[in-house]
């Protein structure tokens, strides 16, 4: 009889709840959700067996998944480890945050650090809340295990099984290295989408034209601009240094394009586009 | 017995060929393609009934679709109109280019201007060539008719039927206005994707990490960076003024984000993201 407790019933927490229960990893799923509307919805939709208070979740669950924004998780994970007593030596807590340095630094000297596994399941959509949860969200995607050498082999084995049930490919990585890489391939994409939405909204006062003229290209490029501030403000501030660095590179590249367009330099434009096209070989 | 001639058997020309034949609008589809590999592929795949020389296509086809990059189309459309003699007064030529000002200006005083219909079917993918052609590409999308008052009612009716068969929604717009709007909702998306690909390729020397960490977000944001230079260099230079204007706005928005990140200004970041989120109400 295994009980999984999920704190934060949004897109990630909710989607985990669905598949961990359906696929038999959890006999019982408890949820913690401070927003009463979201809590009610999670029960109505059937994401969890029961919504319980925070303390009760920690007490009753064998595995606790912290699926709240990263600024809250940084404080919550050490608090949960503090509440693990001698009788709770088999319990494991995991986080699923998009930045890993701060949470790993905040826990590294905790006496129960080995009961914490820091993970980043690389899956999601631009929607949020329990109503955005969906089965199969994680299938076939990568899951980062950050600083896994600080977790106990037993905890790692349990969480390895959990992500195995979700059909994720494990990748082991240093937390700081993770934050550099995700700044480049995930965080910057969100910033460029936000900026694109702002640009278009600023200029296209006639909103009907945006809708009419938005071919597939615009919709997919701007899709991430629907992402929530609650999630992204903490990511952008926590991964501050890496994101600034990549934004500066990005602004330089935009300026190179701008200069080539402004001088009608077709050869340079052709060169820049050919170089950008190399992304084809890397992404399917 | 209606013959449609398609000049340029790439993604757009090839996809039109498929559906105009399958759906019974054209009894016969002739193709013109200067690249011999593409021409061979178009016949093998069965996109067209026959690949013929340019002159023969103009002579035999009732409707001629110019589906070549915009810099070539600007010269080709007047040349085709020149070849229409008195016996060809029922023939119609259309272009399907992504910029409309130059081609409309280049033809406006042509004595046979009324036999030309300038259109922009707003559909596509990031792939190119006859092998990228697909049935149903245009279904449900918008098709711009630029400066349609310069076309004859009869030509407009014929081309209206053609796009009706392709299931496109017609939108009538001034050519210059079209180029402003598409700079904002289509052209800039391509530039931001190219710049994103360049940024990531520049920094992520270990290409495996791009692949592993690229969740759906990155892939969709960078998708357009696979687009071809042959198509995009002419668009960027033809729509020069509008694109420069929108790029400058975009760079400003990126800098606003950069400044908010660099000063840890969470309130400002929250404001910027909330504003960007308004795109949700406009796009489905």
Please report the ipTM that was assigned to this predicted complex: 0.86
Query: Which pLDDT score is estimated for A215?
Result: 65
Nearest to A93 by CA among A152, A21, A176, A181: A152
Q: How big is the A-B interface in CB pairs under 8 Å? A: 303
Query: Which pLDDT score is estimated for A48?
Result: 97
DSSP class of B139: T
Question: What's the rounded Cα separation, in Å, for the pair B8 and B253?
Answer: 38
Nearest to A140 by CA among A166, A102, A106, A172: A166
A173, A203, A228 - which closes a domain: A173
> Do A151 and A16 share a structural domain?
yes
Q: State which residue of chain B sits closest to A266, comparing Cα positions.
A: B233
Does the pLDDT at position A203 exceed 80?
A: no
- Count up the domains in chain B and report the number: 2
Strand ranges, E, within B174-227: none
> Do A40 and A132 share a structural domain?
yes
Asked if B135 and B15 touch (Cβ cutoff 8 Å), the reply is yes
Query: Which pLDDT score is estimated for A191?
Result: 93
Which residues of chain B are within 8 Å of residue A182 when distances are taken between CB atoms?
A: 213
Query: Which pLDDT score is estimated for A111?
Result: 96
* B128: number of Cβ within 10 Å: 19
Q: State which residue of chain A sits closest to B177, comparing Cα positions.
A: A209
B155, B173, B191 - which closes a domain: B173
A108 token code pair: 């590294």
> Do A234 and A109 share a structural domain?
no
Band the pLDDT of A207: cuts 50, 70, 90. Answer: low
Q: Indicate the residue of A218, A228, A247 with minimum beta-carbon distance to B186.
A: A218
Provide the shortest C-alpha distance from residue B35 to chain A (in Å): 19
> Do A160 and A80 share a structural domain?
yes
Asked if B166 and B22 touch (Cβ cutoff 8 Å), the reply is no
> Do B44 and B143 share a structural domain?
yes
Question: What's the rounded Cα separation, in Å, for the pair B35 and B52?
Answer: 12
For B143, the 3-state DSSP assignment is strand
Candidates B172, B187, B202, B214, partner chain A, best to mutate (most A CBs within 10 A): B214
DSSP class of B183: I
Q: Which domain holds residue A26?
A: 3-173
How many angstroms separate the first and last alpha carbons of chain B? 41
Candidates B69, B172, B196, B269, partner chain A, best to mutate (most A CBs within 10 A): B196
Angle formed at CA A225 by CA A223 and CA A228, multiple of 5 degrees: 120
For chain A, say whether B223 makes contact (Cβ under 8 Å).
Answer: yes
Give the CATH number, domain containing residue B270.
1.10.3660.10
Q: State which residue of chain B sits closest to A279, comparing Cα positions.
A: B197
pLDDT single digits (tens) A226-235 = 999 998 999 9
Query: Which pLDDT score is estimated for B207?
Result: 65
Put simply, the answer to whether A215 touches B122 (Cβ < 8 Å) is: yes
Candidates B254, B255, B278, B284, partner chain A, best to mutate (most A CBs within 10 A): B254
Which residues of chain A are within 8 Å of residue B124 when distances are taken between CB atoms?
A: 215-217
Name B88's Cβ contacts closer than 8 Å, sequence gap at least 6.
none
Q: Which residues 124-183 of B have a C-beta within 8 angstroms of A? A: 124-126, 141-142, 144, 169, 171, 181-182
> Do B202 and B107 share a structural domain?
no
Question: What's the rounded Cα separation, in Å, for the pair B111 and B90?
Answer: 14
Asked if A39 and A69 touch (Cβ cutoff 8 Å), the reply is no
> Do A197 and A59 share a structural domain?
no
Query: Which pLDDT score is estimated for B90?
Result: 94
| Pairing, β A50-51 against β A63-66 | unpaired
Put simply, the answer to whether A220 touches B215 (Cβ < 8 Å) is: no
Q: Indicate the residue of A203, A226, A256 with minimum beta-carbon distance to B280.
A: A226
pLDDT single digits (tens) A212-270 = 777 667 888 888 999 999 989 999 999 999 999 999 999 999 999 999 999 999 999 99
Question: What's the rounded Cα separation, in Å, for the pair B2 and B62?
Answer: 6
Give the CATH number, domain containing residue A82.
3.40.50.720
Q: Which residue has the tokens 């130059």?
A: B102
Does the pLDDT at position A97 exceed 90?
A: yes
For chain B, say whether A2 makes contact (Cβ under 8 Å).
Answer: no
Does the pLDDT at position A282 exceed 90?
A: no
User: What are A94's strand-pairing partners?
Assistant: A65, A117
Query: Which pLDDT score is estimated for B14?
Result: 97
Which residues of chain B are within 8 Å of residue A220 when distances are taken between CB atoms?
A: 220-221, 223-224
Name A97's Cβ contacts closer than 8 Å, sequence gap at least 6.
A66, A69, A70, A73, A103, A118, A120
> Do B154 and B14 share a structural domain?
yes
Angle formed at CA B21 by CA B20 and CA B26, multiple of 5 degrees: 75
Instruction: Quote the longest CA-to-CA distance of chain A.
Output: 72
For chain A, say whether B241 makes contact (Cβ under 8 Å).
Answer: no
Per DSSP, the residues of chain B read --EEEEE--SHHHHHHHHHHHHTTS-SEEEEE-SSHHHHHHHHHHTSSSEE--HHHHHHH-SEEEE-S-HHHHHHHHHHHHHH--GGGTT-EEEE--S--HHHHHHHTT-TTGGGEEEEEE----S--SGGG--TTTTTT-EEEEESGGGS-HHHHHHHHHHHHHTTPEEEEE-HHHHHHHHIIIIIHHHHHHHHHHHHHHHH--SHHHHHHH--HHHHHHHGGGGS-HHHHHHHHHHTHHHHHHHHHHHHHHHHHHHHHHHTT-HHHHHHHHHHHTTHHHH--
Name A232's Cβ contacts closer than 8 Å, sequence gap at least 6.
A190, B269, B273
Query: Which pLDDT score is estimated for A12?
Result: 97
User: How far is C-alpha A71 from the chain's CA centre?
Assistant: 13
Question: What's the rounded Cα separation, in Å, for the pair A101 and A183?
Answer: 12
Band the pLDDT of A201: cuts 50, 70, 90. Answer: confident
Rama region for A181: left / alpha / beta (φ>0; ψ in -120 to 50; rest): alpha
Name A51's Cβ contacts closer than 8 Å, sequence gap at least 6.
A9, A30, A31, A32, A33, A39, A42, A43
Does the pLDDT at position A211 exceed 80?
A: no
> Distances in Å between the alpha carbon of A32 and those of A49, A59, A66, A86, B232?
11, 12, 10, 24, 50
> Do A269 and A191 share a structural domain?
yes
A136, A158, A173 - which closes a domain: A173
A8 token code pair: 């934060």
> Do B220 and B153 share a structural domain?
no
> Do B67 and B152 share a structural domain?
yes
Question: What's the rounded Cα separation, in Å, for the pair B256 and B162?
Answer: 46
- pLDDT > 70: percent of chain A: 97
Q: Indicate the residue of B191, B201, B237 with minimum beta-carbon distance to A257.
A: B191
Query: Which pLDDT score is estimated for A216?
Result: 65
10-residue mean pLDDT profile of chain B (284 residues): values are: 96 97 97 96 95 97 97 97 92 96 96 97 90 95 96 98 97 94 89 92 73 74 90 93 94 95 96 92 74
Query: Which pLDDT score is estimated for A221?
Result: 87
> Do B278 and B138 share a structural domain?
no
B171 token code pair: 């939108």
> Distances in Å between the alpha carbon of A88 and those of A64, A93, A106?
12, 11, 21
Which residues of chain A are within 8 Å of residue B226 when distances are taken between CB atoms?
A: 277, 279-280
For B128, the 3-state DSSP assignment is coil
Q: Indicate the residue of A200, A215, A255 with minimum beta-carbon distance to B123.
A: A215
Query: Which pLDDT score is estimated for B284?
Result: 60
Query: Which pLDDT score is estimated for A184?
Result: 86
Query: Which pLDDT score is estimated for A126?
Result: 83
pLDDT single digits (tens) A20-79 = 999 999 999 999 999 999 999 999 999 999 999 999 999 999 999 999 999 999 999 999
Question: What's the rounded Cα separation, in Å, for the pair B58 and B262?
Answer: 60
């Amino acid at each position: 009889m295994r009980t999984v407790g999920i704190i934060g019933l949004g897109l990630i927490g909710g989607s985990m709840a669905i598949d961990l229960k359906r696929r038999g990893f959890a006999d019982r799923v408890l949820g913690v959700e401070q927003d009463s509307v979201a809590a009610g919805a999670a029960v109505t939709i059937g994401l969890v067996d029961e919504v319980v208070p925070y303390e009760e979740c920690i007490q009753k669950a064998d595995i606790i998944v912290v699926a709240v924004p990263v600024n809250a998780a940084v404080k919550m994970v050490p608090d949960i480890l503090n509440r693990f007593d001698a009788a709770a030596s088999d319990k494991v807590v995991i986080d699923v945050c998009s930045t890993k340095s701060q949470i790993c630094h905040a826990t590294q000297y905790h006496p129960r650090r080995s009961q914490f596994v820091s993970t980043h399941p690389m899956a999601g959509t631009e929607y949020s809340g329990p109503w955005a949860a969906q089965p199969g969200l994680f299938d076939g995607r990568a899951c980062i295990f950050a600083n896994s050498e600080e977790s106990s082999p037993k905890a790692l084995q349990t969480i390895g099984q959990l992500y195995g049930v979700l059909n994720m490919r494990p990748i082991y990585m240093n937390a700081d290295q993770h934050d550099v890489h995700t700044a480049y391939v995930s965080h910057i994409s969100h910033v460029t989408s936000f900026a694109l939405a702002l640009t278009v909204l600023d200029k296209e006062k006639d909103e009907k034209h945006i809708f009419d003229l938005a071919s597939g290209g615009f919709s997919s490029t701007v899709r991430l601009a629907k992402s929530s501030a609650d999630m992204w403000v903490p990511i952008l501030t926590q991964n501050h240094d890496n994101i600034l660095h990549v934004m500066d590179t990005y602004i330089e590249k935009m300026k190179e394009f701008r200069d080539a367009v402004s001088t009608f330099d077709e050869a340079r434009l052709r060169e820049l586009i050919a170089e950008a096209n190399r992304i084809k070989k890397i992404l399917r």
